[in-house]
Amino acid sequence: MTLTEAINVFLHKSVMEGGLPFDVRQPRYSAETEAAMCEARDIMNGKIRAESYDSAAALFAALDE
């Protein structure tokens, strides 16, 4: 699908719905999910070091601890 086709589909759907064809609001996440997303951002930004494992067996052993 080209960008032009996608825009046309969006516009036609908007006319059929009488507005935007989706909700425009911030999603609400649980505290646990918010903390996980914050941790992921910190890992991506290099603020904290992510764990790494040499094998799947090592990963599963760490999960069992």
Note whether residue 13 is domain-resident. no
What is the C-alpha to C-alpha distance for residues 1 and 31, in angstroms, rounded to an integer? 38
Note whether residue 56 is domain-resident. yes
Note whether residue 14 is domain-resident. no
For residue 10, what pLDDT is reported? 95
The parent domain of residue 56 ranges over 25-65
For residue 63, what pLDDT is reported? 94
What is the C-alpha to C-alpha distance for residues 50 and 58, in angstroms, rounded to an integer? 15
**pLDDT at position 56 over 90:** yes
Note whether residue 17 is domain-resident. no
For residue 37, what pLDDT is reported? 95
Contacts of 13 (CB under 8 A, 6+ apart): 21
Three-class SS of the chain: CCHHHHHHHHHHHHHHHCCCCCCCCCCCCCHHHHHHHHHHHHHHCCCCCCCCCCCHHHHHHHHHC
Q: What is the pTM of this model?
A: 0.47
Note whether residue 40 is domain-resident. yes
pLDDT digits (tens, 9 = 90+) for 17-55: 999 999 888 888 999 999 999 999 999 999 999 989 999
Structural domains of the chain, count: 1
For residue 11, what pLDDT is reported? 96
Note whether residue 15 is domain-resident. no
For residue 23, what pLDDT is reported? 87
